[in-house]
Amino acid sequence: MPGMKMPEICALDEDNCLSLDAILRAFHCGTKEEQTWALIHQSIAALKEELMQTNDNYSFLKPNTLYIKNNGKVDVKSWRDISTERPQPVSVTTLVSSIGSIIYKALDYGADEDEEIIISQSLEKAFERMTEDTDEEMDDEGICNDSFCEKSLHHLLDELLNRCRERMIDSTDISEHYRQVCRALVAEAIEMSTFLNQITIGTQELKKSHRIDNEEVENIHVEVWAHLWMKVMRQLRVGVSLSHIDRREAENRNQKEYELTPFEMLLDDINSKRYSLKKVVLPKRVEKDARNLI
């Protein structure tokens, strides 16, 4: 019987980047809405910053994926990397459309063909704005007027960034929030791939020592572990509502939770003393026996 397939190990490249494709393969599922907004914001912010440093609106390459640094910023090599074969340079509007398509596919990654991904209306409109037809930038002869194009491009980028800001409940440090979400996304993907790799190695070692008798346990696929991990992470971030809560306050907390990795969330709960544990009183006999054993 074939053993478990070794999962792909996520590792930063020489530029301290991790590709969005690698992140999706690590999680075996698509991005969440908060992460999707963060990818849009960080991509557009990086593009706008670079556009301010160059006057050539047609010097970009169509991206195959996005490269995210371990500090949460999107690396410009996403549309500048010439090490791989790609079509001719494209305009900024075409680049924005390509970025929108890549991020939307990430949201839909791993879903069944007949499964519909439910997203908010604001996110849907943001995708429509990114991928809509840009023929209005051309004159009657199909030539783009430089001054008009530059003004239109900056308006498009500013509009998309404003959409990312307006949906935030807490308006302070919005750019930092999205950066932290992308940083946590990279860190969690690396932790996830390491976890799955350790699970696979541990299972193989147990098999060699004949300590696994249940074939179902032996052949649990890495996707199952990945979905289990994501389910636990969702419960950590969203929680379970057993009584009336302030929905707006809860949504704000959920947005903040995406800035942290699972380990960081637990540390934050401990440092904030968010939970009060009841003191457990042990019978004298049990307490004495425990001390004797120690």
pLDDT digits (tens, 9 = 90+) for 91-104: 888 899 999 999 99
* Residue 1: per-residue pLDDT: 39
Backbone angles phi, psi at 114, to 5 degrees: -95, 5
Statement: residue 33 has pLDDT above 60: yes
Q: Tell me the CA distances in angstroms from 238 to 89, 219, 265, 275, one per residue in order.
A: 42, 31, 12, 16
Report the distance separating Cα 185 and Cα 195, nearest Å: 15
Residue with the two structure tokens 């380990």: 263
* Residue 47: per-residue pLDDT: 93
Q: Are 255 and 34 in contact (CB under 8 A)?
A: yes
Beta partners for 81? none
Give me the percent of the chain exceeding a pLDDT of 70.
60
Statement: residue 221 has pLDDT above 70: no
Tens digits of residue pLDDT in 34-54: 999 999 999 999 999 988 887
Those residues with Cβ within 8 angstroms of residue 201's Cβ, 6 or more apart along the chain or in another chain: none
- Which helix (H) or strand (E) is 19 found in, with range? strand 17-19
Tens digits of residue pLDDT in 181-197: 999 999 989 988 887 77
Report the distance separating Cα 258 and Cα 177, nearest Å: 9
Report the distance separating Cα 242 and Cα 246, nearest Å: 12
Most confident of 27-31, 82-86, 206-210: 27-31
As given in the structure block, the two tokens for residue 201 are 């190695």
CA 45 vs. chain centroid, Å, equals 16
Report the distance separating Cα 253 and Cα 63, nearest Å: 33
Q: Tell me the CA distances in angstroms from 160 to 54, 270, 287, one per residue in order.
A: 20, 37, 62
Class of 1-233+247-294 per CATH? mainly alpha
**Domain locations in the chain as residue ranges:** 1-233+247-294
